[in-house]
Amino acid sequence: MLLRSLLLLLLIAAPTLGRADDGYRLWLKYDQLSDAGLRKAWQGQARGIVLESAATPTLQTAANELQLGLQGLLGQPVAVGNKAGGKGQIRLRVAPNPALGKEGYRVSTQKNGLEITGPTDAAVLYGCYALLRHVQTGQRPGNLSLSSQPRIQYRLLNHWDNPNGTVERGYAGSSMWKWYELPERIDPRYQDYARANASIGINGVVLNNVNASARYLTTEYLQKVAAVAGVLRPYGIKVYLSVLWAAPKVIGGLPTSDPLDPKVKQWWTARTNEIYKTIPDFGGFLVKANSEGEPGPQDYGRNHADGANMLAEALGQHEGVVMWRAFVYKANSKGDRFKEAYQEFQPLDGKFAPKVLVQVKNGPIDFQSREPFHPLFGAMPRTPLVLEVQLTQEYLGFATHLVYLGPLIKECLEADTHTQGPGSTVAKVVDGSLEKHSVSGIAGVANIGSDRNWTGHPVGQANWYAYGRLAWDHTLSSAAISEEWTRMTLTREPTAVASITQVLNQSRNIYVRYTTPLGLHHIMGQSIHYGPEPWLSQSARPDWTSVYYHKADSAGLGFDRTARGSNALALYAPGVRQLWGNPATCPPDYLLWFHHVGWKQQLSTGRTLWNELCTRYYSGADSVLWMQRQWEQAKPALDPELYTDVASRLRIQHREALWWRDACVLYFQTFSRQPLPSGLTPPTRPLTEVKEIVDIYQLR
Ligand code: BDP
């Protein structure tokens, strides 16, 4: 008898007991709150949901999500209806409110219960997610008044996914878009992807790689794109496409793709009209042109504005926009890649049509672990600039290294361009407030793939999350977001939350220290961009080597970008130029970005360059052991499988931090000819052995 009851108990508990957290549910866990008092406090407020406005698909979606979340979190049924019932009803209402802008929400306690309002049904959906976040992070109900509106209008994810299912720079499996199944079969994952995005305010997704296949513009593929758009639409998310500039030639049968050729214009106009017939709320085009071998208007002697404006014209009266990327650089062994995008784009300020936004990477080179802000920010006041950041960790240890990107994104947003006096931050350029633009945008290169946990590294989810939260409100702090994510995704146990968030918050600085301290950049493994290869001196292009960037010699290290060198500093406003132009006032984190510094030169840190460099490489690698200990402290509060997964990745991370440390210290030592500072144990393996690791990894 006793045995039978025990078995029965086990059977009932089985679905939750034995199930490991595979990460699929992301931060939308909705597991029952363990604090009974807290649960009770909310239960009385959430007996039902009442739709006070027309049940559009989006409002219905909002109600369904709220119901799903509250039922899970509170462990009670929550009814959805359109008639006000008794007490504890949450009312959803679409109503204009000038204080909330176009997409803002308000969640408030009213006499007759909670109310979630906003000017559109999507705004109410955002409000529902805000309430769920509030409950899920363990806040008490009290007298609620949560209101927020996005500071940036276009908040996009950019997928670098290809039609064949590969993902450029993707480290989380293959593409989540199953083009071969579409449009007939809709993978249920698409809807969960939409939920995750809507929950953090993302309102647009570019489905395909910037190195684009023309295929997406064919009638066959537009049907597939339309099917995806249909899943995303109720969540307030629009689809966009990257386009291949040469599409008129490749799939249109035209002899040219010259933007000023009337037939080319006609072709794009006809294609665009077909797109809108198939997808009436299509978001627009993203274009990588005349960059890294991609075709573009310059092939016909035209400039970027000619190309972008032609596409804007093709969009005509449709709502969509053109996002034209400024990531361009020519192979120029004498030049400085740092300056190229500026030189091509800045003179075009004021020449772009109103529907065009120019998309600029956070830094001037290419998604390095730390870059100064791109000098185009603030330098094109008549053009809305979209900030592009990379969530997939192409240069930050793929899905192996734990690197929380909140601090990186914030560092760029908070950087002061000084273009209109102090306080002219990149954030104010991007949100349009500094230069009075009515449109604004931000793009994150997605780190999402077909892996069960979406991002490969479980903590990669925090980067998707942080990006969305900052895209919505760039004034949020990176630490507040990491805590919110941890509480929603991993645990609410306070000491575990504290030790995990410390790891997250320090992780980016730690990564920088053991890979590229003091402003070193672009010294990673050739083409795959993984591991150290500072000795790389031959490649298809000089600006794809490492020596181009670090310029180590017997005198010192670093790229002189002052007036004595490439003078890239001249691209910045005087306020920035003065600070960064003087090695004594240049922040050590940016030092080697702008100065060739003598090995024995004393830095503001009190150490010589060589000693500081070694100290950072060593302390960075050691800090990974600290990350391991912190993670271990949180173990009792974590799902065992998830704990083990991250713990083992942290072990790889330490091994590879030593690889970076030894490679760089030994290699730069061949120039500095200095011993390691006292207290640091020299690497036990010679440089030749460390170089072998690279060879094995790249299978060359
Ligand atoms: C570089 C990547 C390359 C991308 C390019 C881009 O290595 O794969 O195509 O950025 O942003 O960092 O276009």
Q: What is the mean pLDDT of residues 565-575?
A: 98
CA of 522 to the centre of ligand 1 (A): 13
CB distance 371 to ligand 1 below 6 Å: no
Ligand 1 atom 10 nearest Cα: 366
Of residues 271, 295, 297, the one with CA closest to residue 282? 271
Q: Are residues 26 and 89 in the same domain?
A: yes
Q: Are residues 525 and 413 in the same domain?
A: no
Burial class (CB in 10 A: 0-12, 13-18, 19+), 210: buried
Q: Which domain holds residue 47?
A: 2-147
pLDDT tens by residue, 452-488:
999 999 999 999 999 999 999 999 999 999 999 999 9
Please give the tally of structural domains in the chain: 3
pLDDT tens by residue, 599-609:
999 999 999 99
- Annotation marks residue 340 as catalytic: no
pLDDT for the residue numbered 112: 87
pLDDT for the residue numbered 331: 75
| Domain end call among 125, 147, 169 | 147
pLDDT for the residue numbered 4: 47
Cβ proximity of 325 and 318 under 8 Å: no
pLDDT band, residue 19 (cuts 50/70/90):
low
Q: What is the mean pLDDT of residues 238-257?
A: 98
pLDDT(12) > 50: no
Q: Are residues 19 and 64 in the same domain?
A: yes
Q: CATH number for the domain including 520?
A: 3.90.1330.10
pLDDT(8) > 80: no
User: What does the angle CA 344 – CA 212 – CA 356 come to, to the nearest 5 degrees?
Assistant: 45
pLDDT(440) > 60: yes
Q: Are residues 124 and 251 in the same domain?
A: no
**Residue 538 vs residues 281, 506, 546, 547, 667: alpha-carbon distances, Å:** 47, 34, 9, 9, 16
Give the whole-angstrom CA distance, residue 522 versus residue 503.
Answer: 25
Q: What is the mean pLDDT of residues 422-439?
A: 98
CA of 560 to the centre of ligand 1 (A): 25
Ligand 1 atom 11 nearest Cα: 327
281: which residues sit within 8 A by CB, 6+ positions away? 229, 233, 238, 319
Q: Are residues 472 and 537 in the same domain?
A: no
Give the whole-angstrom CA distance, residue 503 versus residue 645.
Answer: 16
Q: Does the residue 571 lie in any domain?
A: no
Name the CA radius of gyration of the chain, rounded. 26
pLDDT tens by residue, 630-639:
999 999 999 9
Catalytic: which of 366, 388, 533, 543?
Answer: 366
Cβ proximity of 365 and 338 under 8 Å: yes
pLDDT for the residue numbered 17: 46
- Annotation marks residue 533 as catalytic: no
| Domain end call among 147, 168, 194 | 147
pLDDT for the residue numbered 618: 98
Q: Which of 243, 366, 544 best tests ligand 1's pocket when mutated (most atoms within 8 Å of CB)?
A: 366
**DSSP secondary structure string, 361-400?**
ESSSSSS-SS-PPPTTTTT-TTS-EEEEEE-S-TTTTTTT
Q: Which of 386, 394, 543, 544 best tests ligand 1's pocket when mutated (most atoms within 8 Å of CB)?
A: 394
Q: Are residues 348 and 431 in the same domain?
A: yes
Q: Which of 244, 327, 362 best tests ligand 1's pocket when mutated (most atoms within 8 Å of CB)?
A: 327
**Most distant CA atoms of the chain, gap in Å:** 89
CB distance 329 to ligand 1 below 6 Å: no
Q: CATH number for the domain including 25?
A: 3.30.379.10
Mean of the per-residue pLDDT values of the chain: 95
pLDDT for the residue numbered 505: 99
Give the whole-angstrom CA distance, residue 312 versus residue 299.
Answer: 19
Q: Does the residue 505 lie in any domain?
A: no
CB-CB neighbours of 173 under 10 Å: 18
CA of 557 to the centre of ligand 1 (A): 26
CB distance 366 to ligand 1 below 6 Å: yes
pTM above 0.85, yes or no: yes
pLDDT(14) > 70: no
Q: Are residues 260 and 316 in the same domain?
A: yes
Atom number in ligand 1 closest to CA 395: 12
Give the whole-angstrom CA distance, residue 6 versus residue 159.
Answer: 49
pLDDT band, residue 85 (cuts 50/70/90):
confident
pLDDT tens by residue, 207-221:
999 999 999 999 999
Q: Are residues 97 and 191 in the same domain?
A: no
CA of 288 to the centre of ligand 1 (A): 10
Q: Does the residue 668 lie in any domain?
A: yes
Q: Are residues 13 and 95 in the same domain?
A: yes
